């Protein structure tokens, strides 16, 4: 990189700042926490997929010894909530109606878990069953009951993207192809279930310890739902055992624990069972996508028409955003001069869908890149070449007005293909062996509303120790380490001198949280700016002491010296003492804030930039298919990712491998099996996430593009985008191995065998 500086902390594969506590078991999660007189909460759930609540009798439960409180929906304030106020449709406990098997009906607080469970059994609920809808087509059929009143055909929202002249593109086409793909719902399946501990003080203030990715957002929703001032709510995020998007929202347990604590004047803890954590929180959206593409015979894309049906389940959650992102990201990373897509978000009586790694983008890019492989086969063009021909580049503006800054997609394609020896292997592999390629463009700092800016504070104490206060949520991705490295670089100190305090709304400055791959860009810039502000104050004193210009001073190795003259230096501790002797404020406090240029795009048209910048990448997968059993052996994967600049290579490698693991599970093994609205595999034994033994050999290639983009030193995301290209790369490899494109995920052995049998019948 032309502008890469000689960093001392950045770019080094340093261990995570929380590594010791986690590997020794000292890290404290919500369920490790216990307070005197603490009560245990439990939630009663609906056995019906769709029913009216005729009546609830809680008297027997209240009379049970050890039960301290029982609540239903009518006890709570009548306040709907949702991730976007425009689409708020959920009560913490149901009022008048249940909408899926597992919907929350009542909650209890008791002296122990056994008593709480007995109390649930004593609550009597009378239901009036209603006709349930378990798939999108049934829910949209004329005359079907409305799951949410006022939503005709059970459509929650529609998006109609129409950019460029699609009619002209199809009129000029030399080739047209249409395909339909389905991406199944999947669970997040974090090792740590959802949990909360709430304590309501006598002064009317609420403190909540919860495993949340977005603590400040949860504070806002709790205040709204409980009708109390936001300043009276403090949300503290302890260690989190995996989130992947599923711990980004407020759920019934959060409101119920808080309200039960208010009623009892005692701390209340609710920890979901494994089944509750899987079924009664969120899952990935099932999407069915039809794409019709107009092409030139040389492989140039002229126009695309599409239709998308996204199943949001019983409640909106982030369904509107997922549908918006899916529609928008049809336009990256390949050039499409004209695009017309009609997208529909539809209610059903299934568990709610919500944000999961690759949120909406993953489903669309799976369909689009597999569709492109079918086109390449028909036109007799190498799948690598058709992607290189249509790849976007720096300065490109998509038909729907997404602006591409630094962009390494072409280099990613070339480097991945070179590493796997694509030219030597494509079309020359043994029978039932295949190789597939895919590309991706992804958010790197979601920037859809004005409040996505982040703040940070740096304290520099008299002995040179540095505290970083950030509202960003460490959820296992390594953000505490990443942000500490940025501050350490600015302060000229080693990483061990920086202590991170994160994710506490009562102590740390505002940060929207961990979602939309925004931490690297938004929170990273805020932390860097806070470090710079603190060091500026110190350098001003040093410059005066050393009779030097502030701009000529460099901080490195716990010293501050004159650029080009390292012998003219002052230890950081001595500089801080000099500030003390001058009676300047101590500790030194640096403030940092970052907000990329914002706008509020029209979600219903999907036109405009949804992100401050974009990451890009390419993947190649190698598979072997057993024609006798249909089993797929994912043997090898190459991932090339445009990271902008690597802050911590070790963390980048971990994120890339984690994304590949989730993506491989999505394609090959994971599926939420439903029967009449009931989840049939609500545990980690029957829900098949891949084991470490099923991971392929992974080659990671970090592409560092010119760092003039918005991230700190040009850094971009690397934790979500990789999964976007994992899916189509594997599916395309199976297509190459078998000659059959399986368009319904996951690709299970029985689907492979049926596809091979059908291929043989067709001759």
pLDDT for position 605: 84
% of the chain beyond a pLDDT of 90: 92
Same CATH fold, 286-447+601-762 and 34-130+191-242+247-279?
A: no
Tens digit of each residue's pLDDT (9 = 90 or more) over 154-165: 999 999 999 999
pLDDT at 719: 87
Q: What is the pLDDT of residue 599?
A: 66
pTM: 0.97
User: Per residue, what are the HEC states of 610-667?
Assistant: CECCEEEEEEEEEEEECCCCCCEEEEEEEEEEECCCCCCHHHHHHHHHHHHHHHHHHH
- d(Cα 410, Cα 722) in Å, to the nearest integer? 16
- State how far the Cα of 523 lies from the Cα of 509, in Å rounded to an integer: 11
Mean pLDDT, residues 723-738:
98
Where residue 384 falls (left for φ over 0; alpha for ψ -120 to 50; beta otherwise) is: alpha
Q: What is the per-residue DSSP string for 172-204?
A: T-SEEEEEEEEE---B---SSPPEEEEEE-TTS
Confidence of residue 604 (pLDDT cuts 50, 70, 90): confident
* Confidence at residue 3, expressed as pLDDT on a 0 to 100 scale: 44
SS in 3 state form for 664-704? Answer: HHHHHCCCCCEECCEECCCCCCCCCCCCHHHCCEEEEEEEC
pLDDT at 1: 36
What was the pLDDT predicted at 763? 75
Q: What is the mean pLDDT of residues 378-382?
A: 98
Choose among 291, 310, 429: nearest CA to 370: 291
Which of the four pLDDT bands, split at 50, 70 and 90, describes residue 2?
very low
State the average pLDDT for the chain: 95
Fold of 19-26+450-594: Aldehyde Oxidoreductase; domain 4 (3.30.365)
> In this predicted model, what pLDDT tens digit does every residue of 551-567 receive, in sequence order?
999 999 999 999 999 89
pLDDT of residue 608: 84
CATH domain 286-447+601-762 topology: Aldehyde Oxidoreductase; domain 4 (3.30.365)
Instruction: Kindly report, residue by residue over 693-721, the tens digit of the pLDDT.
Output: 999 999 999 999 865 668 899 999 998 99
pLDDT tens-digit map of 429-477: 999 999 999 999 999 988 876 668 899 999 999 999 999 999 999 999 9
Does residue 633 carry a pLDDT above 70?
Answer: yes
CA torsion sign, 680 to 683 to 684 to 685? negative
pLDDT of 451? 66
Gyration radius of the chain over CA positions: 27
Q: What is the mean pLDDT of residues 614-633?
A: 97
pLDDT for 448: 75
Average pLDDT on 216-237 reads 97
For the chain, the domains span: 19-26+450-594, 34-130+191-242+247-279, 286-447+601-762
The pLDDT value recorded for residue 598 is 63
Helix (H) or strand (E) holding 510: none
Q: Give the per-residue pLDDT at 5.
A: 59
pLDDT at residue 320, rounded to an integer: 96
pLDDT at 612: 86
> What CATH code is assigned to 34-130+191-242+247-279?
3.90.1170.50
Span 327-348, pLDDT tens digits: 999 999 999 999 999 999 999 9
Residue-by-residue DSSP string for 462-504: TTS-EEEEE----SSS-HHHHHHHHHHHHHT--GGGEEEEESB
């Amino acid at each position: 990189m032309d502008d890469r500086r000689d960093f001392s902390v950045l770019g080094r594969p340093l261990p995570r700042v929380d590594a010791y506590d986690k590997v020794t078991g000292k890290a404290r999660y919500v369920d490790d926490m216990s307070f005197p007189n603490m009560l245990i909460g439990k939630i009663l759930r609906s056995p019906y997929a769709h029913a009216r609540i005729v009546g609830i009798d809680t008297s027997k439960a209240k009379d049970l010894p050890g039960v301290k409180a029982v609540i239903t929906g009518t006890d709570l304030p009548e306040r709907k909530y949702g991730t976007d106020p425009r689409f708020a449709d959920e009560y913490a406990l149901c009022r008048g109606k249940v909408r899926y098997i597992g919907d929350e009906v009542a909650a209890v607080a008791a002296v122990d878990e056994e008593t709480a469970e007995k109390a649930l059994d004593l609550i009597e609920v009378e239901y009036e069953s209603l006709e349930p809808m378990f798939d999108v087509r049934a829910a949209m059929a004329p005359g079907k009951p409305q799951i949410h009143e006022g939503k005709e055909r059970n459509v929650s929202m529609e998006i109609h993207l129409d950019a460029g002249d699609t009619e002209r593109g199809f009129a000029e086409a030399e080739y047209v192809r249409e395909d339909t793909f389905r991406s199944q719902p999947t669970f997040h399946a974090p090792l740590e279930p959802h949990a909360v501990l709430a304590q309501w003080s006598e002064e009317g203030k609420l403190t909540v310890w919860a495993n949340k990715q977005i603590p400040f957002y949860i504070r806002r929703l709790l205040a709204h739902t409980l009708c109390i001032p936001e300043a009276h709510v403090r949300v503290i995020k302890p260690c989190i055992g995996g989130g992947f998007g599923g711990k980004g929202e407020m759920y019934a347990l959060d409101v119920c624990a808080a309200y039960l604590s208010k009623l009892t004047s005692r701390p209340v803890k609710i920890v979901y069972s494994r089944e509750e954590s899987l079924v009664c929180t969120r899952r990935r959206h099932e999407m069915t996508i039809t794409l019709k593409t107009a092409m030139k015979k040389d492989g140039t894309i002229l126009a695309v028409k599409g239709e998308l049906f996204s199943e949001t389940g019983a409640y909106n959650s982030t369904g509107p955003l997922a549908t918006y992102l899916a529609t928008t990201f049809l336009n990256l990373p390949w050039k499409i001069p004209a695009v017309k897509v009609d997208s529909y978000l539809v209610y059903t009586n299934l568990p709610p869908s919500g944000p999961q790694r690759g949120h909406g983008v993953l489903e669309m890019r799976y369909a689009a890149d597999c569709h492109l492989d079918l086109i390449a086969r028909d036109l007799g063009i190498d799948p690598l070449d058709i992607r290189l021909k249509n790849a976007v580049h720096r300065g490109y503006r998509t038909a729907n007005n997404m602006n591409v800054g630094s962009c390494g997609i072409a280099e990613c394609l070339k480097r991945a293909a070179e590493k796997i020896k694509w030219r030597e292997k494509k079309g020359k592999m043994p029978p039932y062996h295949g190789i597939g390629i895919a590309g991706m463009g992804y958010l790197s700092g979601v920037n859809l509303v004005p409040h996505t800016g982040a703040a940070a504070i740096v304290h520099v104490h008299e002995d040179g120790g540095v505290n970083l206060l950030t509202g960003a949520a460490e959820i296992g991705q390594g953000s505490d380490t990443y942000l500490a490295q940025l501050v350490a670089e600015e302060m000229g100190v080693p990483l061990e001198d920086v202590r991170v305090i994160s994710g506490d709304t009562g102590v740390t400055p505002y940060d929207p949280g961990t979602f939309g791959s925004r931490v690297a860009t938004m929170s990273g810039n805020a932390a860097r700016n806070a470090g710079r502000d603190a060091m500026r104050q110190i350098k001003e004193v040093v410059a005066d002491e050393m009779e030097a210009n502030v701009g000529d001073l460099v901080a490195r190795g716990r010293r501050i010296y004159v650029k080009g003259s390292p012998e003219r230096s002052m230890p950081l501790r001595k500089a801080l003492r000099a500030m003390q002797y001058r009676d300047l404020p101590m500790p030194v406090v640096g403030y940092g804030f970052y907000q990329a240029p914002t706008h509020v795009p029209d979600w219903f048209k999907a036109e405009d930039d949804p992100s401050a910048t974009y990451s890009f990448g390419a993947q190649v997968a190698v598979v072997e298919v057993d024609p006798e059993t249909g089993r797929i052996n994912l043997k090898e994967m190459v991932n090339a990712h445009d990271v902008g600049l690597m802050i911590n290579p070790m963390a980048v490698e971990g994120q890339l491998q984690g994304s590949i693991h989730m993506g491989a599970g999505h394609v090959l093994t994971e599926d939420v099996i439903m029967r009449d609205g009931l989840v049939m595999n609500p545990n980690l034994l029957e829900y098949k996430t891949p084991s470490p033994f099923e991971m392929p050999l992974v080659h990671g290639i970090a592409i560092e593009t010119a760092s003039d983009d918005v991230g700190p030193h040009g850094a971009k995301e690397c934790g979500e985008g990789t999964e976007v290209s994992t899916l189509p790369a594997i599916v395309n490899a199976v297509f190459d191995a078998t000659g059959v494109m399986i368009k319904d995920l996951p690709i299970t052995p029985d689907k492979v065998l049926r596809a091979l049998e059908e291929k043989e019948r067709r001759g």
